């Protein structure tokens, strides 16, 4: 299928590896260069998993979008595959924003960070880091506290993934390949997400025909436990929208709302749906409409 005229595949370098990305431009160019929304997904996910649907809505509203895959995932480079590192992902975000600002088609001084799920936590950290050009952020069903997210796991699952993580860490000391665990799986399985809606909801985001690996290197369990991006919300000095799912089985709403209220220029939209429902159907329509409204008020398209 040919690529639409307002889309093109691009890439940018991070520590010797290339991150693959898609640049979306408004279908009807205006007289001024548009703001650009830098977008990335969540835990082990790739950009093909519904992010094009958000990008298309944003471009229809007049914004450009740069949607990228993290290193080690999807179409991006990085060995070993399926290695999830919050430190590396934060570096990918900063590199993506720096790259976006070099694109001649966009306004380099009006960049928005947009992240969902684990990527929502990354967007929070990125906004708190105050990279040049960043003027707003959107964090959808964001991961904000590793301890709180770990507590929602069944104790049996917690024990299994911890042992798997230890096996992976020890294996790396002896030069072994990563020990993998499932990203989203059935209840009581050795998986990062095992709530009743996790496996069907996560895999429903994968478009037909897209090859997807539902696994990550097990060592990430220790990274997740230590990662608490919500603690940085008080440092964010740009407008940020928190789109919070009230029945979220992965990123509990309570801690997220607590952290969101600390953001000096934060706004909160809540949805009765769960973590995976916000990407689809009516929940998606309401969420993306709220996000376009936020963008229109804080990062308006020039006449």
Q: How far apart are CA 303 and CA 87, in angstroms?
A: 39
Cβ neighbours of 87 (radius 10 Å): 9
- SS3 state of residue 79: coil
Q: Strand pairing of 17-24 and 240-245? A: unpaired
Q: What would the two tokens of residue 196 be? A: 């009743």
Whole-angstrom distance, CA of residue 182 vs CA of residue 252: 21
Q: Decide if domain 7-151+227-298 falls under CATH 3.40.50.300.
A: no
For the four alpha carbons of 182, 185, 187 and 189, in that order, the dihedral sign comes to negative
pLDDT digits (tens, 9 = 90+) for 246-277: 999 999 999 999 999 999 999 999 999 999 99
pLDDT computed for residue 3 by the predictor: 67
User: Domain residues of the chain, as ranges?
Assistant: 7-151+227-298
pLDDT tens for 55-103 read 999 999 999 999 999 999 999 999 999 999 999 999 999 999 999 999 9
**Residue 103: how many CB atoms within 10 A of its CB?**
16
Under the banding of pLDDT at 50, 70 and 90, the label for residue 303 is: low
> d(Cα 236, Cα 136) in Å, to the nearest integer?
9
Q: Count H helices, E strands: the chain?
A: 9, 11
pLDDT at 139 over 70: yes
Say whether pLDDT at 5 is over 80: no
Strand residue runs (E) in the chain: 7-14, 17-24, 36-40, 64-68, 111-116, 134-140, 180-184, 191-193, 215-217, 240-245, 266-271
Q: Which residues of 198-210 are buried (b: 16+ CB within 10 A; e: fewer)?
A: bbebbeebbeeee
Model pLDDT for residues 209-239, shown as the tens digit of each residue: 999 999 999 999 999 999 999 999 999 999 9
Cα distance between residue 195 and residue 187, in whole Å? 6
* Bridge partners, 90 (sequence order): none
């Amino acid at each position: 299928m040919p690529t639409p005229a307002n889309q093109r595949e691009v890439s940018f370098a991070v520590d010797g590896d290339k991150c693959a990305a898609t640049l979306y431009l408004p279908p009807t160019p205006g007289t001024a260069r548009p703001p650009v929304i830098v977008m990335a997904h969540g835990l082990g996910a790739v950009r093909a998993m519904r992010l094009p649907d958000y990008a298309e809505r944003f471009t229809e509203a007049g914004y450009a979008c740069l949607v990228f895959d993290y290193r080690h995932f999807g179409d991006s480079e990085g060995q070993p595959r399926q290695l999830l590192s919050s430190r590396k992902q934060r570096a990918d975000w900063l590199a993506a924003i720096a790259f976006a600002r070099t694109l001649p088609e966009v306004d380099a001084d009006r960049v928005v960070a947009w992240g969902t799920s684990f990527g929502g936590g990354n967007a929070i950290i990125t906004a708190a880091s105050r990279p040049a050009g960043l003027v707003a952020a959107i964090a959808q069903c964001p991961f904000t506290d590793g301890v709180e997210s770990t507590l929602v796991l069944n104790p049996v699952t917690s024990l299994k993934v911890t042992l798997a993580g230890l096996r992976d860490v020890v294996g790396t000391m002896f030069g072994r390949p990563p020990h993998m665990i499932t990203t989203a799986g059935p209840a009581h399985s050795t998986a990062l997400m095992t709530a009743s809606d996790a496996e069907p909801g996560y895999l429903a985001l994968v478009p037909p025909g897209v090859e997807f690996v539902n696994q990550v290197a097990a060592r990430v369990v220790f990274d997740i436990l230590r990662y608490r991006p919500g603690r940085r919300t008080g440092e964010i000095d740009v407008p940020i929208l928190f789109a919070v799912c009230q029945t979220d089985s992965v990123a509990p709403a309570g801690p997220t709302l607590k952290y969101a209220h600390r953001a000096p220029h934060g706004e909160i939209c809540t949805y009765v749906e769960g973590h995976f429902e916000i990407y689809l159907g009516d929940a998606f329509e309401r969420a993306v409409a709220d996000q376009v409204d936020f963008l229109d008020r804080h990062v308006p398209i020039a006449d």
